[in-house]
């Protein structure tokens, strides 16, 4: 009567032993492949690009009135709407309204209902100062979306300083109320990933 219980106990142990031997074999044959397999298994909670896009679309639908766009991504190529002011220290294209440094924005306190800062903070020497500036110019209850690379090649534009995990970005954004924070990957691989934070400025 106890045989089935014994069989159920032995079978998982044998399976684990087989997995260990297979892992050791793959590691000997191709250490790179072993790393990639381990990395892929460690990222099941990373969001897909599609899931992140759904969140960002929801963020944009909730915005109105004066909003601030820190830089314009080449892949998007335009402002999010007529109510958006675009600033970029280096880009002198026709879509850019002002050339403020994100570390010293020239706007009065509580000027905007929403702020988007996408693929910018990795190029900023003091990203936490930039976040303080975005907090300052955002109205209480206003929304913010910040995104920057987590796993991405070096790309100086004109400099490339930072990569940050979701936990690190949460630490930077601690003065905001978090709505969503995490990683997303694109290009069909979790080897290329970004960290994003969607939050609101706390009301007094």
Instruction: Please check whether residues 17 and 77 belong to one and the same domain.
Output: no
Q: List the one residue out of 129, 122, 137 whose CA is nearest residue 69.
A: 137
Instruction: Please check whether residues 34 and 55 belong to one and the same domain.
Output: no
Instruction: Please check whether residues 53 and 27 belong to one and the same domain.
Output: no
Q: Is the pLDDT of residue 96 over 50?
A: yes
Position 14 confidence tier, pLDDT thresholds 50, 70, 90? low
Asked if 138 contacts 201 with a C-beta cutoff of 8 angstroms, the reply is: yes
Instruction: Please check whether residues 81 and 156 belong to one and the same domain.
Output: yes
Mean pLDDT of 70-95: 89
pLDDT number for residue 53: 86
What percent of the chain has a predicted confidence (pLDDT) above 70?
81
Instruction: Please check whether residues 66 and 117 belong to one and the same domain.
Output: yes
Instruction: Please check whether residues 86 and 175 belong to one and the same domain.
Output: yes
Instruction: Please check whether residues 92 and 190 belong to one and the same domain.
Output: yes
Domain count, the chain: 2
**Helix (H) or strand (E) run with residue 140 in it:** strand 138-151
Instruction: Please check whether residues 113 and 81 belong to one and the same domain.
Output: yes
Mean pLDDT of 25-51: 67
Mean pLDDT of 61-89: 92
Instruction: Please check whether residues 57 and 149 belong to one and the same domain.
Output: yes
Q: In terms of pLDDT, which residue wins out, 52 or 144? A: 144
Instruction: Please check whether residues 35 and 92 belong to one and the same domain.
Output: no
Instruction: Please check whether residues 143 and 94 belong to one and the same domain.
Output: yes
CATH number assigned to the domain comprising residue 157: 3.40.50.150
Asked if 189 contacts 153 with a C-beta cutoff of 8 angstroms, the reply is: no
* Torsional sign, CA 134, 132, 200, 161: positive
The domain of 30 spans 3-41
């Amino acid at each position: 009567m106890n045989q089935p219980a014994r069989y159920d106990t032995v079978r998982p142990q044998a399976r684990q032993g087989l997995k260990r031997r297979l892992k050791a074999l793959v590691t000997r044959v191709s250490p790179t492949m072993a790393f990639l397999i381990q990395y892929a298994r460690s990222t099941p909670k990373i969001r897909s690009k599609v899931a992140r896009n759904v969140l960002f679309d929801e963020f944009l639908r909730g915005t109105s009135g004066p909003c601030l766009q820190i830089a314009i991504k080449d892949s998007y190529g335009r402002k999010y709407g007529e109510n958006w002011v675009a600033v970029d220290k280096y880009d002198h294209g026709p879509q850019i309204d002002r050339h403020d440094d994100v570390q010293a924005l020239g706007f009065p306190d509580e000027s905007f209902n929403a702020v988007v800062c996408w693929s910018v903070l990795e190029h900023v020497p003091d990203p936490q100062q930039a976040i303080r500036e975005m907090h300052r110019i955002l109205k209480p209850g206003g929304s913010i979306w910040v995104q920057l690379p987590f796993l991405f090649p070096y790309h100086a534009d004109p400099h490339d300083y930072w990569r940050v995990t979701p936990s690190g970005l949460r630490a930077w954004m601690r003065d905001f109320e978090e709505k969503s924070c995490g990683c997303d990957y694109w290009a069909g691989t979790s080897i290329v990933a970004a960290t994003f934070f969607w939050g609101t400025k706390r009301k007094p």
